[in-house]
């Protein structure tokens, strides 16, 4: 009677489930592999190459990007899709640009060069950025599609634009252009 599961508050069949997420290497679906392994695999390969070549800046920058992606996966408890990975890389570039501005204000050319090198490394993993003309044409098309005519309609336009520009233009640059075109 001592080992009776009913008396210990257990069900007659108890299964033990591991609450940790499945690792990236274990049994992944092919859709996940085709979607995000592109950028993540490129980053991992670049890390290996940087370690072999002894390129400290590239190694540090790629590790920083991979750590940010891994942290986001842990925080959200899901595997990230390609758009989310690109958004994280955009966020890393934004942080590097902020440190670049601070280094310029502090008159630190060594830190300026370091931040510029980090931006160049991360930019290599992002899709080709829109030119100013392409971005303006895209914004004008979204404004026409949303029927926006005042800055109050900026949210509608941005809702249409964000999925189209994912990873190819900084969000602050896009919102500034939308605001500028809506004020005319």
Q: What pLDDT score was predicted for residue 28? A: 43
Indicate where the chain has its CATH 1.10.10.410 domain(s): 132-182
Beta carbons of 182 and 148 less than 8 angstroms apart: yes
Give the C-alpha distances (Å, rounded to integers) separating 182 from 89, 136, 139, 160: 29, 12, 10, 15
47 vs 11 pLDDT, higher one: 47
Mean pLDDT score of the chain: 82
Tally of CB atoms within 10 A around 41: 12
pTM (2 d.p.): 0.67
Whether domain 132-182 has CATH 1.10.10.410: yes
Structure tokens at 129: 């950025």
Residue range 44-48: mean pLDDT, rounded: 94
pLDDT category at 69 given cuts 50, 70, 90 is: very high
Q: What pLDDT score was predicted for residue 60? A: 95
Q: What pLDDT score was predicted for residue 7? A: 55
Report the distance separating Cα 33 and Cα 79, nearest Å.
11
Q: What pLDDT score was predicted for residue 36? A: 45
Give the C-alpha distances (Å, rounded to integers) separating 65 from 43, 74, 96, 131: 8, 14, 11, 25
Q: What pLDDT score was predicted for residue 154? A: 87
Q: How does pLDDT run across 97-149, given as a tens digit for each residue?
A: 999 999 999 999 999 999 999 999 999 998 888 888 899 999 999 989 988 88
Structure tokens at 100: 């670049």
Find the distance separating the first CA and the last CA of the chain, reported in whole Å.
83
Indicate where the chain has its CATH 1.10.1510.10 domain(s): 30-123
Percent of the chain with pLDDT over 90: 42
Fold entry, domain 30-123: Hypothetical Protein Yqey; Chain: A; domain1 (1.10.1510)
């Amino acid at each position: 009677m001592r080992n009776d599961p009913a008396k210990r508050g257990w069900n007659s069949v108890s299964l033990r489930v591991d609450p940790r997420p499945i690792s990236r290497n274990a049994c992944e679906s092919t859709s996940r592999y085709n979607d995000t392994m592109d950028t993540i695999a490129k980053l991992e390969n670049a890390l290996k190459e940087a370690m072999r070549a002894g390129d400290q800046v590239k190694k540090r920058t790629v590790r920083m990007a991979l750590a940010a992606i891994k942290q986001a996966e842990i925080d959200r408890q899901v595997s990230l899709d390609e758009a989310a990975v690109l958004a994280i890389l955009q966020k890393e570039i934004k942080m590097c640009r902020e440190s670049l501005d601070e280094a310029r204000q502090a008159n630190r050319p060594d830190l300026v060069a370091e931040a510029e090198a980090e931006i160049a490394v991360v930019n290599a993993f992002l899709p080709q950025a829109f030119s100013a003309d392409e971005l303006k044409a895209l914004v004008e098309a979204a404004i026409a599609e949303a029927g926006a005519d005042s800055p109050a309609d900026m949210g509608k336009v941005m809702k249409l634009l964000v999925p189209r520009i994912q990873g190819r233009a900084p969000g602050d640059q896009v919102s500034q252009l939308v605001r500028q075109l809506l004020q005319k």
